[in-house]
Structure formats: C-alpha cells, structure tokens
Amino acid sequence: MDIHIEIARAKVNLNLKILGRRDDGFHGIETRMAPISLADRLLFTAADEYRLVCDVPGVPLDETNLVTKAVRVFQRETGKLCAYQVVLEKNVPHGAGLGGGSGDAAAALRALNSLEKTDIPVEVLADWSAEIGSDVPFFVYDSTCDCRGRGELVEPIDWPFQLDALLLKPSFGVDTPSAYKSWLESTEIEGIDYGSQKLEWGEMINDLERPVFQKYRFLAEMKMWLLAQDEVEAGMMSGSGSTMIAILKSPELAELLAARAKEQLDPTLWTHVVKIG
C-alpha cells in the first residue's frame, strides 16, 4: 500500500507586536514566525472516501478538525474527490502557541496538491488557507516569514540562521482568543521584563506576554527564571503561550537546563529540544 507522508512542522513566534483591534474584530499584528524541528506527521493512503484517524485523546475527528477543513477547501476549489484516509500522528502539544493544528491543515493542503497533481502555486494555496485560520498561510510556505494583518499576509524572508532552543510548557494551555481580548486592558506585573531582546539574528518581543502573564503568573515567573540561567541567551513566550522559548548558547546545555527547570519550577513540565529555522 502506497503511503504519502507529509511533515507538519510547528512554529515559534520570534517576535509579536499587536497594532490594535481591527473593524472585523481581529487584532492587527506584525510577527516573525519560524518553523521548528518539532513536527506532526500526516500519512495519506488511498480510500473509498476521505476520513481522518488519530489516536490522541481530545483530537476532534469531525468537521471541526483543521485537517478536515483544509480537505474541504481543497475539494471545493479543485473539484477533486480527495479520497484518502489520513492518519494524524500528533507530537505538537495542544494550546501551546506552537500552531500544531494550523500546521496540520497546511500540510494537508500541500499533500493534496502533490497527490492530486494539481500544481496549485503556493501563493494560491496560502490564499485558500486563510479562511481556515490566521496562521495557516504561514505554514503553507513552511519557511521563516514576516506576517501582517491578522497573520494571513505572509512574506517569506531570507533568514539564514538556525537557533538551538529548549521549549518548556506547563500542563495548562492558553486560549488564544482570550489572550487577544484581554490585551488592551492588561497591565504589566512589577519586576517582570517585557522589553525587547536584541540579538544578532533579530529582535525578540511578545506583546501577548502582558495579558497572558497577568492571568498566568507562573509563566511570568518562568520567563524570569529562564533569563537568569547561564545557558540561556534569550527567553520569551511563544505566540499566545503557554510554551516558553529558551534560546540556548549551546545545544549541549539543553538537557541540563530541562532537568533544572523540572526540579526548580515544575516536575510536570513538558520540554523539547528543537532547531529553529
């Protein structure tokens, strides 16, 4: 049986600036997003009709799943049947600010474009994908991009860096719409550093830290703890959280830092060593 495997890389936001609330209810943003080595996998095999399979508890298998939404968009726009069984292998945690579901949707579009031999330009796939979710157009390109609008205006950039990082996520997730909704009225916590971190490869700053830290004080404490560690070059929350990014001075330091974080912060932390870019 022929199996087509599509890799759905997760992402981090290297910076995220909120420009204000738009007339359509979304917030205007400017953000630089980069793919990372942590990824889900989608396995496509021919079937009598489309169906989605995933054995991870809590992953919806109905029409609300973003993979299924992507398939429906592709079917509508091309007229293709898209008769495949899709096995979704999840590695990217939910509610982490890493774009797992959006990445899966984009991977489905890329896979169908290849399997159905439709040769749809990537720019067109990105346009189609904007209705699925604000981050999906970025994932269609699968490269480092500057994004504007509500995130759907995507410009791939030349970013010749590869960063070593440790991702750390507590057991809880953060609801993205709630984080944006709370942004305007949120205030900074005294003693927490929200400022720009300027590095050789660019700037790290995240305007969503203010509302998210106000609701989840532990994330603020985690950031300050990371910034105090010798192994860490820079540290910040990714997207709307709850994942924190620790940019490492050397990849060999990752496991030592992860062990110390679990010992001193939370023994249940999910940690993962990744390459960014």
38 close to 10: Cβ distance less than 8 angstroms: yes
Distance CA 100, CA 196 (A): 26
65 close to 133: Cβ distance less than 8 angstroms: no
To the query of whether residue 119 is one of the catalytic residues in this protein, the response is: no
Q: What is the DSSP letter of 253?
A: G
Quick one: how far is CA 69 from the chain centroid? 18
Q: Which entry of 11, 69, 169, 223 is annotated as an active-site residue?
A: 11
Quick one: residue 239, left, alpha or beta (phi over 0 = left, psi -120 to 50 = alpha)? left
Tokens coding 233? 């070059």
CA proximity to 34, closest of 58, 47, 15: 15
Q: Which entry of 104, 135, 142, 164 is annotated as an active-site residue?
A: 135
- β-strand partners of 199: 202
To the query of whether residue 11 is one of the catalytic residues in this protein, the response is: yes
Active site residues: 11, 135
